[in-house]
Amino acid sequence: MYRTTLSPSFVMSPPGADSGGTVAEKLFWILFYSACSSSMLVINKLAVEAVPLPTVVSASQLVVSAAVVVLLRALGYDVMGPMQRSKVVPFALYTAMFAAGLFSNMKALLLTNVGAVIAARSCLPVIVCLIEYFFMGRALPGARSATSLAGVVFFAMTYIKSSSSVDVDGASGYAWLFVWWMLLAAQMTYGKWMTEKIEMTQWERVFYTNAFAVPPTALIFLSTGEYSQARDVVLGENATLWLLASCAMGVGISYCGWKVRTVITATTFTLVGVLNKMATIAFTVVVWPQDTTLTSIAALVACILFGLLYQDAPKRKTKGVGSSKGGVIGGGGKSGFA
């Protein structure tokens, strides 16, 4: 059967790939991922307002993202090889982490407030950095990067204190918050490990991630009572348009999310996620300034600026082997986001 081979640099990630890539490539994919992430939040809000069934919206995105890969393969593009145990098992474990993280996040939100979740998320790059040091052969961050992480945590806490504060309902609230936090850290580092150790195309990662997430999503749909509400749901204006738009964004964020992981470290990827959320919050408080203080806006801006200082930690040196070099955007740990 005739196959059209896409550019290897566009789809392939060989095992052992270590946060390589040029300055321009890293910057492009970080900005593309950030744009998709921020746009996804807005479009998802519009989609859920038009189709008031969150699980149906999520499932549609998953199915479409997986179907796009199947369609590309049917059209002759060499985007996906045969399903193999060496690929299926790791992604099944990754999906299990995702489902467990989603459940623990919902439990944490029931027993805490948004401020507590933001606080935990802002500290996540620190634990991911330590996991990379102890288990993935990375060096500890330098003085500039350590200052960056400390600044992100400090100003995130300052924002929380000036806006919503932290409210946790007893020991069970702290327990679920910790479980969610650790599962998310494991998911971030395990995802990076897969990009380094398992040779496959980016589109294969898109397929496995989304296809394997459909069954847990279907289970949530049946167990939360959303199934019984589906018959009586009233669709909003332009429901089809916003649902299709959310599915298109789902494909984009699935692809560029995995692509970004191949060119930066797990800590940097986690930090980019934190900064995206802070930037989105900053945008909303500026556009819709409800009970917003100058302190909270300044804290958000400072949090983002400190995050931009971070540099990828290189691989630790081994006997007779030089360390792998690479900053967040440039080589040798000499370049930050800017």
Asked if residue 338 is part of any domain, the answer here is no
Asked if residue 10 is part of any domain, the answer here is no
Greatest mean pLDDT range, 1-5, 12-16, 276-280: 276-280
What pLDDT shows up at residue 165?
A: 67
Asked if residue 72 is part of any domain, the answer here is yes
At 172, the pLDDT band (50, 70, 90 cuts) reads confident
CA 56/CA 36 separation, integer angstroms: 20
Whether the predicted model's global pTM rises above the 0.85 cut: no
Greatest mean pLDDT range, 7-11, 34-38, 42-46, 66-70: 66-70
Q: Is the pLDDT of residue 74 over 80?
A: yes
Q: Per the structure, how many domains does the chain have?
A: 1
Place of tokens 């936090």: 181
CA 294/CA 36 separation, integer angstroms: 28
Q: Is the pLDDT of residue 338 over 90?
A: no
At 75, the pLDDT band (50, 70, 90 cuts) reads very high
Mean pLDDT of the chain, nearest integer: 83
Asked if residue 158 is part of any domain, the answer here is yes
Asked if residue 306 is part of any domain, the answer here is yes
Q: What confidence tens digit (pLDDT) does each residue in 149-166 have? A: 999 999 999 988 887 667
Residue 87 CB coordination number (10 Å):
20
Q: Is the pLDDT of residue 332 over 80?
A: no
Q: Is the pLDDT of residue 10 over 60?
A: no
Pick the residue with more confidence: 323 or 87?
Answer: 87
Query: Which domain covers residue 198, as residue numbers?
Result: 22-313+321-333
At 192, the pLDDT band (50, 70, 90 cuts) reads very high
| Range name among 29-33, 195-199, 284-288, 318-322 with the lowest pLDDT average | 318-322
E strand or H helix that includes residue 99: helix 85-111
What pLDDT shows up at residue 54?
A: 86
Pick the residue with more confidence: 258 or 229?
Answer: 258
What pLDDT shows up at residue 8?
A: 41
Asked if residue 12 is part of any domain, the answer here is no
Q: Tell me the pairing of strands 200-201 and 12-13.
A: antiparallel
Pick the residue with more confidence: 21 or 286?
Answer: 286
Mean pLDDT of 99-126: 84
Pick the residue with more confidence: 224 or 274?
Answer: 274
Mean pLDDT of 94-102: 87
Angle at 94 between CA 65 and CA 175, to 5 degrees: 120
Q: What confidence tens digit (pLDDT) does each residue in 194-251 have? A: 999 999 999 999 999 999 999 988 888 888 778 788 888 888 888 999 999 999 999 9
Mean pLDDT of 1-28: 56
Asked if residue 1 is part of any domain, the answer here is no
Mean pLDDT of 106-132: 86
At 290, the pLDDT band (50, 70, 90 cuts) reads low
**Best CA proximity match to 6, nearest among 246, 232, 259:** 259
Q: Is the pLDDT of residue 326 over 50?
A: no
Asked if residue 305 is part of any domain, the answer here is yes
DSSP 47-83: HHHHS--HHHHHHHHHHHHHHHHHHHHHTTB------
